[in-house]
Chain A
Amino acid sequence: MLAQLGLGIFALTFLLALFSVGAAVAGYFSKSDRWVETARLAMLLTFPLITVGVATLIYLLVTGHYELQYVYSVTSNEMPFYLKITALWGGQAGSLVLWSWLMSAFASAVTLRKWERDRELLPWVIAVTSVTLAFFLALSIFYENPFARWWQTSGGDIVARMFAPAGALPLIPSDGQGLNPLLRHPGMIIHPPMLYLGFVAFVIPFAFAMAALVTGRSDDRWIRLTRRWTLVAWVFLSLGLVLGMRWAYDVLGWGGYWAWDPVEIAALMPWLTGTAFLHSVMIQEKRGMFKQWNMLLIILTYALVIFGTFLTRSGVLSSVHAFSESAIGPMFFVFIGVTFVTSVALLIYRWKDLKAEVEMHSLFSREALFLLNNLLFMGVLIVCFWGVIFPLISELVTGQKVTVGPPFYIRANGPLFGALLALMGIAPLSAWGRSTYKTLGRALWKPSIPTVIVPIVLAILGVRNWVALVGFTLVAFVIFVTLYEFWRAFRKSNLEITKRTQWIVIALLILVTIGFAAWALIDPANWLTPFVSMILTYFMVAIWMLARRNPRRYGGYLIHLSMVVMAIGILGMQVYQTTTQKTLAVGQNIQLAGYTLRYDSLAQFPYTDGRIVTRAVMSVYRGGQYLGNLYPRYDNYPDGQPVTIAGVRSTLSDDLYVVLVNWENVSEAQAPFKVYHNPLINWLWIGSLMFIFGFLVAAWPVSEKENDEGKNES
């Protein structure tokens, strides 16, 4: 009964979305504000409706209605309550429902605003978001119905259908399969919604871009109106990617965080165009240039968002992520094709109206460097796109599948990422308009001096790998430039803060100091970690106060800083990761990177939720000194894949990561261990925390007064 209700609500929402498209378009062409208003109300109505539909599905999941195929496939009796809710996006059908729900939520948020100005954009914003919503709802209704039930046909087959096939009897299993154990990790619970928040939020700037194209507005209103949407979309997409990395590192047990798997790349591609877009819209805002290019970037981003969902959801690639295969591939393909061709056609139609207002004057101006940044991001995109689709092309043409694996991407993208780092250092020092190599050189020499020392010091310390030398030098360069910029801001500023802010800051600093001091006292052997964290926190607080003057600019710099901090971790892993594997008898040792690990014991015990845990105890030594125990383990769930949980000793300089290799023979007497030494990896996670902070600074609402100050400065 509830299932029928849910599907009915989805069908109704689908019709409403189609109606709102029609009404919006009709309203635009007949210049009838009443039709547009009708379209708007219809759009707004989709949200409460679809929310009821989603609530119905969640209710069915939580109450264990295993007669539904979807509920059966992602939940089971012994799963905890919160996992039953998050099972909403644990499988194909549910993820698509989540997509539609977010789309409706965002579109409603946009249509809710007052629209006193720029009202001519409204009908097309509604039309584009509604078309997207209708498409995803159609997938849920016609192809991936989350409400389909199990039936046993007269022939004895078990099928999943919405309505009873002739002569079939309903089938009600007493328990479900349960969520794939690999997906029961906190990182995996937040990762998909984060990615989807990012994906769906990018539809909003796209909708405004299309509205601007149709109505022939050549100004930058669409960019200004969606500036925050773009930033939010980009940040959620970034966080989604980082959470995915963390999940892979914690759960997959191969010692890394990124495998250049096609599905990872599927999420990376819209991030690449989105990042390029985020930068190049600034040129249009400041200089009125590259209007056509910005349009193309947002069109590409939208196409890649849908393409990314298509890659993960259609089963076109079979990889560790594509746990679901279905018949929705062709639908996606047609939708991507139609929307892409239509938007590009519109862009070509308006091409001449989007001429630049100002000409490019210098190769060393900031706009020129931003364009170079875009070229590099496009380069990475081409490598990724080509790497992902080439196996499909090869299969189509020759019938033979090939693997395009990590070495390809690393070789091709490495230099491009290096160039991006260099540009991240140079661009903030250039000026808009008439920057020459002289002015740029004048700005560059100060931060260059400490940079030159870095490779020399590294070489003295024994670093011989040229990738590491170049990489760390570039990282240092960006850090020096950014700090230099903050220093300049500090010198120029007359920090006026209110009494209240002053006390808050002082209280905060005292609390932070006490907190870190306590941490250091509890674990004196590792005093370095709290110490560095404390310095970083002080630094953040100071920068936060500075950044109030021009949050967008300094927030952006903070995000740059977080990116290079992440780069430290990536370089450490890429260049210096080492690994070894050995089967040990109790009491035997394994050695790696100066550490000695002794196998002490192994235990196997059941856990409350039915899984059987196999856990080894290892003691870790370095230079004869005992450092602690590690507990690598794997969990066997009654219904499937084992989950490998590494034992990890984590410090700022390295991670010691031990896997109990469950795919070889494990016994109490002897067990195989694979040990990874992952230098500097924690900087990747520290960088991502800084990234969130940078985003908060950049997007934090500022009062009009403060904002004006910032504008004058930039």
Chain B
Amino acid sequence: MKAKTILLVSGAFLVLTVALFLTRKVSAQAPTPSDDQVNAIASQLFCPVCENTPLDVCPTTACHQWRELIRQMLAEGKSPAAIKQYFVDYYGARVLSEPPVTGINWLVYIVPPVAFIAGATLLFLAFRTWRRMGKEPAAGSASSSPASNDGSSPVTGSGNVLDDQYVARIEEELKKRK
């Protein structure tokens, strides 16, 4: 055989091997996927029967079969995303640990932050009103309003109008001491 032919054949062989290696990379690496590889995907899935038990720790036979299915698909070289999609296609979105962001499921992600922001805004507005209300009658009552129930009371009061709330507070304190 001529050297040129040998070169050509071996070249083609090399290209073929590389191509084969590239296309079958995953399966070539892991002929039988390990338990850990299977569990990595299984832990993100919930079977429709054993609700709220992730697939990686679920003891039922059905879940065992699911795990074997995952192992098989991994061996075939499917990506984790593709495997998860397979289960979603067959059993619905409930196999995922979180609802996919489609349709009404938007609500699950939107409501808590919106409610929290609304609460925070409400609280902030309330703070502002309280502070304004606290400042308006500030001249008279601020100095005499009790900072805490330490009992040191400015009996002389702050001028002609005795603060109603202050009186009420004292009465209540007296009630407590009874």
Contact = CB atoms under 8 A, between A and B. Distances in A.
Interface of A: 117, 219-221, 224, 253-255, 259, 261-262, 286, 288, 317-320, 357-363, 368, 371-372, 375, 378-379, 382-383, 386-387, 390, 393-394, 397-398, 400-408, 412, 432-434, 579-583, 642, 644, 662-664, 672, 674, 712
Given A224-B176, A375-B119, A379-B119, A433 B147 contact: yes
A359 B130 contact: yes
Given A254-B57, A401-B92, A386 B130 contact: no
Q: Classify chain B: how many residues form its interface, as a range.
A: 35 or more
B112 A360 contact: no
A41 B133 CA distance: 49
Nearest to B53: A320
B90 interface: no
Contacts of A432: 147-148
B162 interface: no
Interface stretch (B7-15, B22-30, B103-111): B103-111
The 3 closest A-B pairs by CB, nearest first: A405-B97, A360-B130, A663-B59
B36 A357 contact: no
B98 A433 contact: no
Contacts of B82: none
B104 A394 contact: yes
B59 A368 contact: no
The B interface is mostly helix, strand or loop, or mixed, namely helix
Interface in B123-166: 123, 127, 130-131, 133-134, 145-150, 165
A293 to B, nearest CB: 10
Given A359-B131, A379-B119, 10 more contacts: A224-B176, A320-B53, A357-B165, A362-B131, A371-B123, A387-B108, A403-B46, A412-B112, A581-B39, A582-B35
Contact of B51 (A359, A403, A582, A674): A403
B116 A379 contact: yes
B117 to A, nearest CB: 10
A402 B94 contact: yes
B73 interface: no
Nearest to B60: A663
B59 A390 contact: no
Given A360-B134, A386-B108, A662-B59, A394 B99 contact: yes
Contacts, number: 144
Contacts of A371: 123
Contacts of A433: 147-148
Contacts of A397: 104
B51 A319 contact: yes
A386 B111 contact: yes
A581 B97 contact: no
B130 A382 contact: no
B35 A382 contact: no
Contact of B116 (A358, A382, A582): A382
Contacts of A219: 172, 175
A257 to B, nearest CB: 13
A329 to B, nearest CB: 17
Which of B64, B96, B130 has the most chain A CB atoms inside 10 A of its CB? B130
B63 interface: yes
Contacts of A582: 34-36
B52 A259 contact: yes
B20 interface: no
A401 B47 CA distance: 12
A394 B93 CA distance: 11
Contact of A383 (B112, B169, B176): B112
B168 interface: yes
B52 A320 contact: yes
Nearest to B34: A582
Interface in B68-97: 92-97
Nearest to B118: A382
B131 to A, nearest CB: 7
